[in-house]
Amino acid sequence: MRTMVIQIRSGTMMNMDTNIAVKLARAALDKGYGVRMFGYGEGVTLIKKGQDPKRFPNVGNETKELVEKGLEVVVCETCCKARGIARGEEIEGTKIGSLTNDLSRFVAEGDRMVTLAR
């Protein structure tokens, strides 16, 4: 199965980057591709459990829903620790991992890599 890797560095409430990431992931999953997403920097907020934005799309809920459809999401633990996000606070089915282990594996095994950044 061919795989798209999406790299995200923006926080869920900074701009629309994470919304674009989940829309792209949804469209790719629906077309039968594998999709893997890696977040670091502010991008780690993607996997934070309990997000409850008012008047904005809830990217956390969308991420959870897509994980159930096969999306693989990993974020950088170092960046999580820097922001006080501890293991156990991630959305079920997502993972707090690392650039060296997980992003490198995603890049090595992926067919296309999309970076959503400014």
Partner 1 sequence: MRSKLFITLKSPHDLGDLELVRALAKGSRSGLLLLEDAVIFAANADLGKELLGAVQDVYVIKDDWEARGLPLANPGFKVVDYPEAVDLIMERYEQTITV
List contacts with partner 1 (CB under 8 A). Answer: 2, 4, 15-17, 20, 23-24, 26-28, 30-31, 33, 111-118
Helices (H), 31-103: 59-68, 77-82
Q: What is the DSSP string of 34-52?
A: EEEEEE-GGGGGGGBTT--
- Closest contact distance (angstroms) between CB of 95 and partner 1 is 24
- Closest contact distance (angstroms) between CB of 14 and partner 1 is 12
When the beta carbons of 81 and 112 are compared against partner 1, the nearer one is 112
When the beta carbons of 47 and 116 are compared against partner 1, the nearer one is 116
When the beta carbons of 57 and 93 are compared against partner 1, the nearer one is 57
Q: How far apart are CA 30 and CA 113, in angstroms?
A: 18
When the beta carbons of 31 and 49 are compared against partner 1, the nearer one is 31
Q: How far apart are CA 3 and CA 11, in angstroms?
A: 24
- Closest contact distance (angstroms) between CB of 17 and partner 1 is 7
Q: How far apart are CA 72 and CA 93, in angstroms?
A: 8
**Cα Rg of the chain, angstroms:** 13
